[in-house]
Amino acid sequence: MTYSVKPKFHHPALPVNELGFTHRDYEGSVSTLCAGCGHDSISAAIIQACFELDLPPHRIAKLSGIGCSSKTPDYFLGQSHGFNSVHGRMPSVLTGANLANRDLIYLGVSGDGDSASIGFGQFAHSIRRGVNMLYIVENNGVYGLTKGQFSATSDRGSKSKYGAVNSDSAIDMIAMALQLGATYVARGFSGDKAQLVPLIKGAINHHGAAFIDCISPCVAFNNHVGSTKSFDYVREHNEAVNRLDVMIEHAPITADYAPGTVELVTQHDGTVLRLRKIASHYDPNDRIAAMTYLQERAAAGEIVTGLLYVDPQGQDLHDYLNTVEKPLNELGTADLVPGAAALETFNDTLR
C-alpha cells in the first residue's frame, strides 16, 4: 500500500458548505510528500477553493503527469475523478477527456519538469487550443521526485543544493501562457494561501484555458541560499500586482477603497472578480502590457504574482469546434448514426 487513508471521524462542529459538505469531504489520502513541501500547501488551497465554491466532488476531474507535484491529486478531492498519466502527457489526456465530456470541471496538475521539459509541447498546445481547464504548474525549479536536478524553469545563475550553478536560461511559464493565448493567467506562491485560494477559485470559474504558475519550494532540494525558488527568496522578491476576491453573486462592495483601486471583472458564468490593485498602473486586461511588465520586473529580479491577465469573455475549444452542448459521451446511436439521408445532406454541403 503506497498511501494511507485518513480516518473518517471529524469534529461535529466543522463548518459545512451549501451542499452540506465539510472541508474533509474535499480531502484525499494522507500526503507522502516531505514535511514542509510547498506542494502540500497548494493541495490545501485547492481543497479550500472547491469547498468554498460548493463544487460537487463528482463533477471534478483531476489529471496529472509524473513528479511529486503530479502525485498530489491523490491528496485532495478523494471523491473526484482522477487520472495519473505518464510524464508530460497530462495535457493531451485532459484535452481528450474534455472533448468527450464537456460537463466536468478539469483540473490539470503538473510540475515544472513535467510541463517545461518533456511535456512542453503538450502544455503549449493545450493552452493555444483554449481547453476549458485550470492548468496548475507547481513550480519548484527542480525535478523533486528524481532528487533535485535543475529544471527548465530554474533561473540562470541559481545554485543547486550541492553548489552547481545553472547556466541555462529559464523558461517563464507565465510568459509562455500569455504568448500562447491563455485567457486567465496568474502566478501564486504556495506560501501565500490568502492570495492563492481566490486565484484558484477565479480560474475554476473561468471559461477557457486558465493557467496558474505557482511557485512551490522544494524543501528537500531547492530551499537553500543561492536558489531563486526558496521560501526566503520568493518572500523577499514577491511583487504582487493585485489581490483578488471572487464573488459568486454580484455583491455590493462594502470595504472603503480609494477611487480607481478596485476593478470588477464579470466572467462568462456571472462570477465577479474583484481586483484590488497594488501596482496602480497594472492593467490585467492588457496582454501585451502584461508581457512587457513581467519581463521588466523579472530582469530586476522580482517575481510578479497575482491575476496577471484575464479575458472574461474568453472562448474554449468547444466554442471553436462548434460542438454540440450535450457531452459527446452522452450521445446515443440516433445522434451518432443519423442514417443515409443525413449523410447525403452533409455530403452535399462539401460538394
Ligand X SMILES: Cc1ncc(C[n+]2csc(CCOP(=O)(O)OP(=O)(O)O)c2C)c(N)n1
Q: Which residues bind ligand X (CB under 6 A)?
A: 66-69, 87, 111-114, 118, 138, 140, 142-146, 151
Per CB under 6 A, does 314 bind ligand SF4?
A: no
CB of 267 vs Mg ion, minimal distance in Å: 30
> Rounded distance, CA 271 to CA 250, Å?
7
Q: Give residues 7-46 in contact with ligand SF4 (rule: CB under 6 A).
A: 33-34, 37, 39
Q: How many CB atoms lie within 10 A of CB 103?
A: 11
> Residue 242: which of Mg ion, ligand SF4, ligand X, none does it interact with, CB under 5 to 8 A by kind?
none
User: Contact region for ligand SF4 (CB under 6 A) — 175-183, 217-225, 249-257, 334-342?
Assistant: 217-225
| Identified binder of ligand SF4 from the candidate list 43, 122, 132, 140, rule CB under 6 A | 140
| Identified binder of ligand SF4 from the candidate list 124, 171, 219, 262, rule CB under 6 A | 219
Q: Which is nearer to ligand X, 125 or 268 (CB)?
A: 125
Torsion angle (degrees, nearest 10) of CA 54, 194, 218, 42 = 0
> Residue 66: which of ligand SF4, ligand X, Mg ion, none does it interact with, CB under 5 to 8 A by kind?
ligand X
Residues 64-103, mask of contacts with ligand SF4 (x by CB under 6 A): ----x-----------------------------------
Q: Which is nearer to ligand X, 98 or 140 (CB)?
A: 140
> Residue 155: which of Mg ion, ligand X, ligand SF4, none does it interact with, CB under 5 to 8 A by kind?
none
> Rounded distance, CA 37 to CA 335, Å?
49
Q: How many CB atoms lie within 10 A of CB 220?
A: 18
In the chain, where does DSSP find H-type helix? 38-52, 68-71, 90-100, 112-113, 120-128, 173-180, 193-204, 231-237, 287-299, 317-321, 333-336, 340-350
Place of cell 490539470: 108
Residue 260: left (phi > 0), alpha (psi -120 to 50), or beta? left
Per CB under 6 A, does 116 bind ligand SF4?
A: no
Partners of 149 in beta bridges:
143
> Residue 309: which of ligand X, ligand SF4, Mg ion, none does it interact with, CB under 5 to 8 A by kind?
none
| Helix, strand, coil shares, percent, the chain, to 5 | 35, 20, 45
Q: Which residues make up the interface to ligand SF4 (CB under 6 A)? A: 33-34, 37, 39, 68, 140, 144-145, 218-221
